[in-house]
Structures are given as structure tokens and as C-alpha cells.
Structure 1
Amino acid sequence: MNFENTLEFAQSLDANDQFHSFRDQFYLPQYAGQNAIYLCGNSLGLQPKSTETMIAGQLASWRNLGVEGWFDGEEPWLPYHRKLVGPLAKIVGAKGSEITVMNSLTVNLHLLMVSFYKPNVKRFKILMEGGAFPSDQYAVESQVKFHGFDPADAVIEIFPREGEYTLRTEDIIAQINADADELALVLFGGINYYTGQFFDLKAIAEAGHTAGAIVGFDLAHAAGNVPLQLHEWGADFACWCSYKYMNSGPGGISGIFVHEKHHNDATLNRFAGWWGYKLDERFKMTPGFQPERGAEGWQVSTSPILLMASLHASLQIFEQAGSVSALNKKSIQLTGYLEYLINQVNEFIGYEQFKIITPSNKHKRGSQLSLICKSGGKAIFDYLVSQGVIGDWREPDVIRLSPVPLYNSFEDVYHAARHLLAAVKTVVKT
């Protein structure tokens, strides 16, 4: 598509956007009596208007039924999590038995590593992306120490080549092959939070398995953002949060994937809790843990129904949209248009004030562009905020802008770029 840097062009794209009306299903933050330009779905998705009603329904069940709400009412709580499984399975490309909803992301990462990080004297190393989100780094470091290993020896981080900002798939695979004899686990993010790079998860899974390692993914920035096929790719496990692209609210409930090939593996360790016990015998309260079949067997604690209700509201919107693949087509257009407009800003001012470090290949990124600011980055970011443009600042010099197809418009993107140009003129000293 040949883009144009005009408001009329942006509005014409909105007029032909099949998802444009979905914007009306979300609350947009307000600035000076108007809708803010919200480009921060990579940190916290917006609130669906149906969330309040969905939660209110569960509050009514609690009010009217008390403890009997677990078994009675229109939506009994005991199996409530299963309402979320079907939509989530479509979003991450899995079978229903491979999915469950529980806890928060880092808790789930720890619980899954209990099962799938099984180091021994020969195989004890974990390979991960350099610059992964800190919580992943902390989780891996503590797991390694828990097993008696030194993170300096056991954790392999792979960084981009000198002068580059993103990882090459061939370099990831080469590193896996180089350490094949010692790898216990390959653990990668789906999308790097800082650069916005969408990794080739299929290739990573294949290489990891060829090396004899377990392969797991943290999909915090990928679930609900880009098309995924966890079952087909053969990932052993994965986990994600739901408050970014799946709009479940701050600190929203997490989810896990465990490939069906592991469902009957009695040799896997797990930190058990009664909510993972066989459902048909759970209330017998007998000793000796017998897990429910599938991913549900990794559940630990009682379902937080209000958090699940919040996610349920958003998943219903995903169901209306049809598929992540369909949404991704709009995402490609949105980020493509934003990329074009940023390049227009650079051209207008005569130098590369904003260097886009997110891959230009549309298949290697999701709904995010990360911009390195040549100068005055924080001042530019603060100016954007003062004009009602809500993005995300990452030290030392990166602004992340994330146009989300469910609720962002092409006009949003057009105005964001206009404010970027105004920011340079206003706060950058040249």
C-alpha cells in the first residue's frame, strides 16, 4: 500500500477498516475533554465496556448465593475457568486440554520450570535472549540457584551482533547447536519487550528439540498480539499475562500451555495444590496428589473468579473479531503506517531523530514500534504525554508506541506522528 501523510488518508483507512467499530467497545482515557491517543497496549490494554457488567454478574452471584455460587447459578464458579479455555486456545494455537488459566505470569513461569527444568551434571544450562524482561531473568537465576548451579555458568544469554539491535534467527540456532550437549532448557520470549522483535518460535522449538532440550516460551507480549501455533510448533510449555493485548486489567490472570505429549508423564515434578487435583474426586479431600489430566493438573489455588470474569469480557470481543490472524492484518497496516509517518518526520527535520529498532519485516514484529531518540528523548516523551499521547518510556532513550488493532485507529497514528514532529520543534535543541 502507498501511504499518504494526510488526515484525509488516515480517515479513509478508518472508513474501510472492518474493526474500526470495535473501538466503541472500550473506554478511552480522556485528555482535555477528548479521547487520548492511547498507544500503550503493550503495557496495559484498555478496559472493555463490558468488563464492569461481567464482574457485576459474579458479584451478584456472590451476594445472592454465597458459597453455593461455586455450584449453582447461571455460571457456577467451579468450572468457570473452562469458559476461557476455548477462546484462549484459538489465540495461542493450542488444544483445549493444553490450556488453563491461573495465577500471574512469573508465578506460572516458576511452576512450569519446576516441571520442565530438570538439570543434571551434564545438562544444566538454560539459553535465553539477552535483555529479556527482568522478571524472566530473575526467575531463571533463582531457579538455577535452587538447583545448586551458578548462574554465571548455567545461564547463556544471546545478544544481537555488534551494531545491531535485534537477534538473527540463524545466530539463535547456532548458539543452541553450540551448546547442545549441555542445554536443559531453551527459554525465549515470544516478542522482546524492548525492541518489539517477534522471534521465529517454530525454528527455535525445532532447534531446541534437536539439541535434546526442553523448549518454553514467555508470551507476555505475543499472546493476543500475533498469530501463534504452540501445539503445531511443538513447544513443551508456555505462559503469558493477559493484561496487555488481552485487556484483562492491571495484574490480570495469567495462563499456561502444556503440550499434550507431557500430560501423562508421571516423571514430571510439580508443586501441587488441590485445585489441580482430579475434579471428580477433589472434594473427597484424600491424601496423595492425583492431577487432573492436561494443563489443569498444574493448577494450584482456587480460581480468582473476579479476575477471570474480567478476562472473559475481553475474550468475548476476540471471539467477535474472529481470529488473531485477522486482527494481525490490521496491526501490520497500523504499524506500517506509523513507520511511514515516523520516517516522514525524520525526512522533514533533515536527520534521523527517531531510529526504529523494531524489525521492518512485518512478520517479525507485532503491534509495537520502538524508537531510539537521537536527543531529548525523555523531554519528547513528556511532551507527548502533555498532549494526550500515551506511549511508554524505557531507559535510556527508547519510546515504545503500540497501536492495537482492537481499539486504535489510523487517525490515532496520524496524530501521534504529528505530535512527534511538534515535540522535536518544541523541546529538542538543535
Structure 2
Amino acid sequence: MEFKNTLEFARSLDAQDKLAKYRDEFIFPHVNGKQVIYFTGNSLGLQPKSAQAYVNEVMGDWGKLAVEGHFYADKPWWDYHERFAVPLSKIVGALPAEITVMNTLTVNLHLLMVSFYQPTAKRFKIICEEKAFPSDQYMIHSQVCFHGYEPEDAIVEIKRRPGEHNIRLEDVLAKIEEVGDELALVLMGGVNYYTGQVFDIKTITKAGQDAGAYVGWDLAHAAGNIALELHEWNVDFAAWCSYKYMNSGPGNASGAFVHEMHHNDLDLPRFAGWWGHNKERRFLMEPKFDPVRGADGWQVSNLPVLSLAPYLASVDMFDEVGMPALIKKRDCITAYLEFILHEIDKEVKSTFEIITPSTPEERACQLSVFLHGEGRQLFDYLMEHGVITDWREPNVIRLAPVPLYCSYEDMYNFGQILKSGILSHG
């Protein structure tokens, strides 16, 4: 498609967009009385209008039924999480039994590492990517220390080549081969939070497992954003937050995946809790833990149903739309945003450097842009003029044109505001 940097062209794309109607299903903040252009769905998704009704339903049942809501609510609380299994399995490419919802992201990764990081005197190293999200860095650091290893000995970071912004697949594979039989675990982000680079999960998973290691993924920036086939790719485990692309609300519950090949391995260590116990015998209060044969067997505590309610509202919307339609629009609107950035770059004779890969297979719903020659004042200008974006030092803005609620007209208008901001500070 040949793009044009005009309002008329942007509106023509919106007129053809089959997902355009879903924009009206979300609540937008306003700045100076106008609806914002929202680019931070990679940090916190907008609130679906339906979320409040889902929460109110739980509140109403609590009021009417009190404890009996566990069994007699329209959506009984004791199995509320099971409503996520089928729709989430479609989103991440899994079997329903491989899906559970519990806790929050880093808590789930810690709990999953109980099972999948089992260091020995010889095999104790963890491979991760350089400049992973800090929470992952802290988690991995604390895990190796807990097991009695020095981080500098046990943690192996895949680094970018000098002068490059993204990590090469061949460097990941070479590092796995180099670490070899010392490798216990590969644990990476499916999409790098800073650059927006999408990693080849299938290829890296196979390489790690061929080396004798477990392979897990932090899918915080991937779930609801990229095409995933966790079951077919033989991923051992994964977890993701729900509040970015899946719009569940701030700090909300995490999804988790455990491949079915591990479901019946009762020798696999795990931290047990009542809610992971055999569902049919849970209320017998038996002294010996008998885990559910599925991802639910990794649950620990009773579920935070009020937190799950807005997540379910969003997941139901995802189930209606489907990932193929989301990905189709994601690719088009991201390409249009890239075009707009290049056009404005030429008009203002500035220097934008998009550090996100340009190939669709290696990027998703994010463009990270170095604003060479521009400073924090440009970010402040954008925010003051209703463009909600994200600033990362030294001078990178992250732009996520989420397909469920961003429009092509947003992309055009952003370009005009960006141009005005650069010229006003020139």
C-alpha cells in the first residue's frame, strides 16, 4: 500500500478498518478538553467500558450472597479462573489445560522457577538478554543467589553487537551452544520492552532444549500483541501480565502457561497451595498435596476475583475480535506510523532513528524512536498537547499504536503535533 501523510488518507484507512468500532468500547483520558492520542498501551492499556459491569457483577453477588457466591454466583468464584482457559489458549497458542491465571507476573515467574530452575554443580547457568526489564533482572539475580551461586558466574547475558540496537538471533544460538552442558535455563522476554524487538521464540526454545535446558518466556509485551504458538513450539513455561495489551487494569493478575508435557510429572518441585490441589477433593482438607493435572496445579492461593473481573471483560473482547484480525491491523497501523515519522523527519530536517526492527517478523505494536538532537522538552510538549507516550533515557520515546483503540487519524495527528513541537523548540 502506498501511504500518504494527509488527514484525508488517514480517514480513508479508518473507514476501511473492520476493528474501528472497538475504539468506542474504551474510555480515553482527555487533555485540554480533547481526547488524547494514546501510545502507552504497552505500559497500561485503556479501560474497556465493559469492565465496570464485570466488576459490579462480582460486587453485587458479594452483597447478595456473601460466602455463598463461591458456588452460587452467576459466575461462581471458586472456578472463576477457568473462564480464561479457552480464550487465553487462543491468544497464546496453547491447550486450555496449559493455561492458568494467578498472582502477578514476577510472582509467577518466581514460582515457575521453583520447577524449572534446578541447578546442579555442573548445570547452573541462566541465559537472558541484555537490558531485560529490570524486574526480570532482579528476579534472576535473586534466584541464583538463593541457590548459592554468584550472579557473575551463573547469569549469561546475550549482548548487542557494538553500534547495534537489537540482538541477533545467531548470537543467541551461538551463546546457547557455547554455554552448552552448563546451561540450566533460558529465560528471556518474548518482546524486548525497550526496543520492541520480537525474538524468535520457536527457534530459541528448540536450541535451549537441545542443549538440555528448560526454556521459559516473559511475555509481558507479547501476550495479546504477537502471534504465539506456545504448545506447538514446546515452550516449557511462560507468564505474562494482563494490564498492557490486554487492558485488565493497573497491576492486575498474571496469566501463566505450563506445557502439558510437565503436567503429570509429580517429581517436578513446586510451591504448593490449597488452590492447586485436586479440585474434586479440595474441600476434603487432605494433608497430602495432590496437584491438579494441568497449569492450575501451580496455583497457590484463593483467587482475587475482583481483579479477575476486568481481565475477563477484556479477554471476552479479544475472543470476539481474534488475534489474526488484531495482528493484521497492528502491522498496517505500525507501518503507517513508521511512514509518518519518516515524513515528518524529512519536513523538519531532524534526525529520528527508529531502533525497533523494520521487518514485521521482528517487531510488533511498538516503535522506539531515538530523537537525536531533541530532549525531554519535546516529550513534555507532546504530553501537554494530548499525546500520551513514554520517555526512556537518554532520549527515546516508545510509541505503541494498539490496534483495538488507536486510529489511523491518530497517527496523522500525532505527526502534526510532533512537527509543531520540534519547530517550536528549534
TM-score, normalising length: structure 2? 0.99
What's the % identity of the aligned pairs? 55
Amino acid aligned to 1:369: L
* Residues 280-314 of structure 1 deviation map (CA, whole Å, 9 limit, x = unaligned): 11111111111111000000011100111110100
DSSP 3-state at the match of 1:127: strand
Name 1:340's counterpart in structure 2.
Answer: 339
Contact 1:377 1:399 in 2 (8 A): no
Amino acid aligned to 2:325: A
* Residues 201-241 of structure 1 deviation map (CA, whole Å, 9 limit, x = unaligned): 00100111111110000000000011100000110000000
Name 2:410's counterpart in structure 1.
Answer: 412
DSSP 3-state at the match of 1:230: coil
Name 2:27's counterpart in structure 1.
Answer: 27
Instruction: Give me the whole-angstrom Cα distance separating, in 2, the residues matched to 1:50 and 1:271.
Output: 35
| 1:71 matched to 2:67 | no
DSSP 3-state at the match of 2:184: strand
Shift of 1:325: 2.1
Instruction: Give me the whole-angstrom Cα distance separating, in 2, the residues matched to 1:302 and 1:378.
Output: 44
Instruction: Give me the whole-angstrom Cα distance separating, in 2, the residues matched to 1:296 and 1:85.
Output: 10
Higher mean alpha-carbon deviation, 189-198 vs 265-274, is at 265-274
Contact 2:350 2:373 in 1 (8 A): no
| 1:46 matched to 2:49 | no
Contact 2:98 2:257 in 1 (8 A): yes
Name 2:327's counterpart in structure 1.
Answer: 328
Amino acid aligned to 2:354: I
1:2-401 maps to which residues of 2 (within 5 A)? 2-321=2-321, 323-352=322-351, 354-401=352-399
Contact 1:92 1:228 in 2 (8 A): yes
* Residues 402-429 of structure 1 deviation map (CA, whole Å, 9 limit, x = unaligned): 00000000001111111111111112x4
Number of residues of Structure 1 aligned to a counterpart in Structure 2? 426
Shift of 1:320: 1.4
Higher mean alpha-carbon deviation, 120-129 vs 371-380, is at 371-380
Instruction: Give me the whole-angstrom Cα distance separating, in 1, the residues matched to 2:349 and 2:304.
Output: 54
Contact 1:253 1:308 in 2 (8 A): yes
Shift of 1:377: 2.7
Instruction: Give me the whole-angstrom Cα distance separating, in 2, the residues matched to 1:417 and 1:358.
Output: 18
Amino acid aligned to 2:16: N
Instruction: Give me the whole-angstrom Cα distance separating, in 2, the residues matched to 1:169 and 1:20.
Output: 35
Amino acid aligned to 1:193: Y
DSSP 3-state at the match of 1:291: coil
Instruction: Give me the whole-angstrom Cα distance separating, in 2, the residues matched to 1:419 and 1:273.
Output: 52
DSSP 3-state at the match of 2:257: strand
Shift of 1:329: 0.8
* Residues 384-415 of structure 1 deviation map (CA, whole Å, 9 limit, x = unaligned): 00000001111121100100000000001111
* Residues 155-185 of structure 1 deviation map (CA, whole Å, 9 limit, x = unaligned): 0001111110001111111111111111000
DSSP 3-state at the match of 2:232: helix
Instruction: Give me the whole-angstrom Cα distance separating, in 1, the residues matched to 2:150 and 2:324.
Output: 42
- Aligned CA RMSD, in angstroms, stands at 0.8
Amino acid aligned to 2:245: Y
Contact 2:126 2:184 in 1 (8 A): yes
Shift of 1:372: 0.8
The gaps in structure 2 that reach 5 residues or longer are: none
Instruction: Give me the whole-angstrom Cα distance separating, in 2, the residues matched to 1:422 and 1:355.
Output: 19
Shift of 1:348: 1.3
Contact 1:377 1:398 in 2 (8 A): no
Shift of 1:56: 0.2
